Amino acid sequence: MPNIFNQHSESDLDSNPKYTGRFAPSPSGQLHFGSLVTALASYLDAKHHNGKWLVRMEDIDEPRCISGTDTAILHTLEAHGLQWDGEVMYQSKQHSRYQEVVNALLHHQQAYYCSCTRRMIKAMGGTYNGHCRDKGLTPSNGQLAIRLKLDTPLAPFTDLIMGEVGVPHQKLAGHRVEEAHRIEDITIKRRDQLFSYNLVVVLDDVFQGVTHVIRGCDLIDVTPLHRCVHQSLGYQPLEYGHIPVAAIAPGRKLSKQNHATPIECTTALKNLVNALHFLGFTEVKQQDFNSVDSLLSFAVSLWNRKKVVKTPEIIVPRHESTYYSVP
């Protein structure tokens, strides 16, 4: 399908973008051990492949973002030698670009207004059944959500790190067997006018010319959907690699809510060594390095996707102050 939603991409200006990676933190909290691991892994994978490494602030959900956190995150990255290429992109400044794509999708009948309430969707069995697809609703019917028509089934994919990844079962629940391949038309703009994360993550990766996404396993289940959205919009799918997430207990990812300690910049070398050990590069010894730069250049050459631990979740020790504090 021709790409009718062609956005101007920064990579157009670049002569040799075989690899562009990115780290995309949400500035709702400072970097903690888990986010440092993700930053490091995406940086090493990019630099090992002589690629560019970008940083994108995922502040689309503005009410959840805390002012000044973006600067704190960038400062922490720099203190750890994780220097990004180009300018940092802020999702909060991209609204007009998102709106243009949404307008084009509406215009081409690839998206439509939907008036269904949460309660109605619950009554459909929890999965939206396409109720408003052909109703031709318009904004004059009130403040409505906008959904993307998704006719391509979710497909398994090969993860650069975790290997073969199937389609998560829960997405198929509620459908009759003959409809099992169909997925729900996702909301791309909510009734409250917020663009949905699952749309903007795809648009931004394309816009920034990203070719490889290395991120935490907490997002592995949503990746078939991201690939499906890519395809529905006429874009080539990207390569994805997922690394283990740090958790304080099964299913409880290290996060601000779980009292993760902000990364301490004064112990950058130690933090990086801990992160490398976490990822499976246990041979790295802190005493062999006198700067973050010397450690990073060693780690760039050592990086090997095959060596990354294949467990989706690793429980980090409670006593280690680097990880989290007990409230």
Beta bridge partners of residue 55, listed in sequence order: 23
Residue 24 interacts with which of Zn ion, ligand GLU, none, CB < 5 to 8 Å by class: ligand GLU
- The span from the CA of 295 to the CA of 286, in Å, is 8
Q: Smallest Cα–Cα separation from 41: which of 243, 286, 220?
A: 243
Neighbouring CB atoms inside 10 A of 107's CB total: 10
Q: How far is C-alpha 207 from the chain's CA centre? A: 14
- The span from the CA of 73 to the CA of 31, in Å, is 6
Task: Figure out which of the listed residues 10, 20, 24, 207 binds ligand GLU, where binding follows CB under 6 A.
Answer: 24
Q: Is 25 in the site for ligand GLU (CB under 6 A)?
A: yes
Q: Is 215 in the site for ligand GLU (CB under 6 A)?
A: yes
Tokens of 215: 């991120």
Q: Is 70 in the site for ligand GLU (CB under 6 A)?
A: no
Q: Is 58 in the site for ligand GLU (CB under 6 A)?
A: yes
Residue 245 interacts with which of ligand GLU, Zn ion, none, CB < 5 to 8 Å by class: none
Residues 6+ apart with CB under 8 A from 236: 230
Residue 32 interacts with which of Zn ion, ligand GLU, none, CB < 5 to 8 Å by class: none
Residue 116 interacts with which of ligand GLU, Zn ion, none, CB < 5 to 8 Å by class: Zn ion
Which residue's CB is nearer to ligand GLU, number 133 or number 253? 253
Residue 114 interacts with which of Zn ion, ligand GLU, none, CB < 5 to 8 Å by class: Zn ion
Residue 25 interacts with which of Zn ion, ligand GLU, none, CB < 5 to 8 Å by class: ligand GLU
Shortest Cβ 172–ligand GLU spacing (Å): 23
Residues 6+ apart with CB under 8 A from 207: 7, 8, 9, 10, 94, 97
Q: Is 201 in the site for ligand GLU (CB under 6 A)?
A: yes
- Tokens 């409250």, located at residue: 192
3-state helix, strand, coil in the chain (%, to 5): 35, 15, 45
Q: Which range binds ligand GLU by CB under 6 A, 22-30, 87-95, 127-135, 136-144?
A: 22-30
Residue 130 corresponds to which amino acid?
Answer: G
Q: Is 159 in the site for ligand GLU (CB under 6 A)?
A: no
**What is the DSSP annotation of 140-202?**
GGSS-EEEE---SPP--EEETTTEEE---GGGTTTS-GGGTT-----EEE-TTSPBPHHHHHH
Q: Which range binds ligand GLU by CB under 6 A, 18-26, 63-71, 141-149, 229-237?
A: 18-26
Q: Is 148 in the site for ligand GLU (CB under 6 A)?
A: no
Shortest Cβ 191–Zn ion spacing (Å): 11
Shortest Cβ 35–ligand GLU spacing (Å): 7
Which residue's CB is nearer to Zn ion, number 116 or number 292? 116
Q: How far is C-alpha 255 from the chain's CA centre? A: 15
Residue 268 interacts with which of ligand GLU, Zn ion, none, CB < 5 to 8 Å by class: none
Residue 119 corresponds to which amino acid?
Answer: R
Residues near Zn ion (CB under 5 A): 114, 116, 131-132
- Tokens 């009554």, located at residue: 123
109: left (phi over 0), alpha (psi -120 to 50) or beta: left
Q: Is 26 in the site for ligand GLU (CB under 6 A)?
A: yes
**Which residues are near ligand GLU by CB under 6 A?**
24-26, 58, 201, 215, 219
